[in-house]
Amino acid sequence: EHVVNRIAAGEVIQRPVSALKEMVENSLDAGANQIVVTVKDGGNKLLQIQDNGHGIAREDLGLLCERHATSKLRSFEDLEGIGTLGFRGEALASISFVAHMAVTTMQHDAVHGLSASYRDGIMDPGGPNPCAAVPGTTITVEDLFYNVLTRKKALKNGAEEYSRILDLVSRYAVFKAGTGFTVKRQGEARADLHTLPTASRLDNIRAIYGPSVANNLLPLKHKTGDMDPAVASSTFSADSATFTAEGYISNASHQGKRSNFILFINGRAVDCSPLKRAIDALYATILPKAAKPFVFLDLKMPGSHVDVNMHPTKKEVGFLHQEDVVDSLRAAVESQLLASNN
């Protein structure tokens, strides 16, 4: 039975960065405004995330890694109006099947912290144990895929995995301005990525992607349909495209050497190849010299229009009226580029 679970877990958690993405989203769901990621060998040996979120109650620790038991998805109807990033309740369970996992947590009104470790979905006997702690949660994942040799072999070297981790946290740092992010290698005093909770999205683009990117950006704001985030998702008709877009796009003078396409839909970092292709093609026709655009888009659409990523590895997102949404966004980017070009 454990072998089957392990294979399934290896599908959910494919590499260090997929585990980290789930843990970052859990920290954000917990209301953290400081997140520190510590890594050894690109996360292959050690992946630790410390947050100052609301912590985990003692009674929840026993079931933390039980599949679906602690899911934020309490009922099927919740699917429609999903407010938090997590809803599958299988990320930590999966991690515990393919790595050594330990948790230290302290709720803000508690007098001491609690620690527990997990294996194959189950808390180690005797836990949780009282310990000294600061408010928030630290999750430590060691020796990823120690028991899944096929996965372990498929992993890239630490440098490659680390660059994926830096890329992911960079995206969240821009999207979640208001939360400070730090990424560092274990034993190094200096962080490789560091943002402050007081910084804006633009500050973070400047700090992470450099002034040549930040100095050549145009703001983008766009709206189609009567999207109102305050309105329950189920009240939206499925008949037409409904979304808001907010972000930054590189202008005509931008001479980026690398293209960056950063997309969030309803708070989750996702890929959307048709949208990326459309925007790339647009930049290539309008600005042949700036063929490597920087694009950051924060899209919100009714939860009922999005194919809720039931599977964490399904980074490629699907949504209703995809062609209309892509066309409408391409047009918005085009008019902003043309306006600034004249």
C-alpha dist (Å) from residue 269 to 24, 51, 194, 313, 316: 11, 19, 19, 11, 10
Which is closer to ligand ADP, CB of 66 or CB of 161?
66
Q: Which of 12, 20, 47, 92 binds ligand ADP (CB under 6 A)?
A: 92
Residue window 212-251: x/- pattern of binding to ligand ADP, with contact defined by CB under 6 A: ----------------------------------------
Chain residue at closest Cβ approach to ligand ADP: 86
Question: Is there binding between residue 47 and ligand ADP (CB under 6 A)?
Answer: no
Provide the sign of the torsion angle of the four alpha carbons 40, 46, 49, 50, taken in this order: negative
Q: Binding ligand ADP by CB under 6 A: which of 53, 225, 267, 302?
A: 53
By a kind-dependent CB cut-off of 5 to 8 A, residue 88 interacts, out of Mg ion, ligand ADP, none, with: ligand ADP
Q: Check binding of 27 to ligand ADP (CB under 6 A).
A: yes
**Binding piece for ligand ADP, criterion CB under 6 A, among 7-15, 39-47, 88-96, 219-227:** 88-96
Q: Smallest gap, in angstroms, from Cβ of residue 214 to Mg ion? A: 31
Site string for ligand ADP, 101-140 (x = CB under 6 A): ------------------------------------x---
Asked if 71 interacts with ligand ADP (CB under 6 A), we say yes
Question: Is residue 91 close enough to count as binding Mg ion by CB under 5 A?
Answer: yes
Q: Using the rule CB under 6 A, which residue among 37, 56, 116, 326 binds ligand ADP?
A: 56
Q: Which residues bind ligand ADP (CB under 6 A)?
A: 22, 26-27, 30, 51, 53, 55-56, 64, 70-72, 86-93, 137
Q: Which residues bind Mg ion (CB under 5 A)?
A: 26, 86, 91
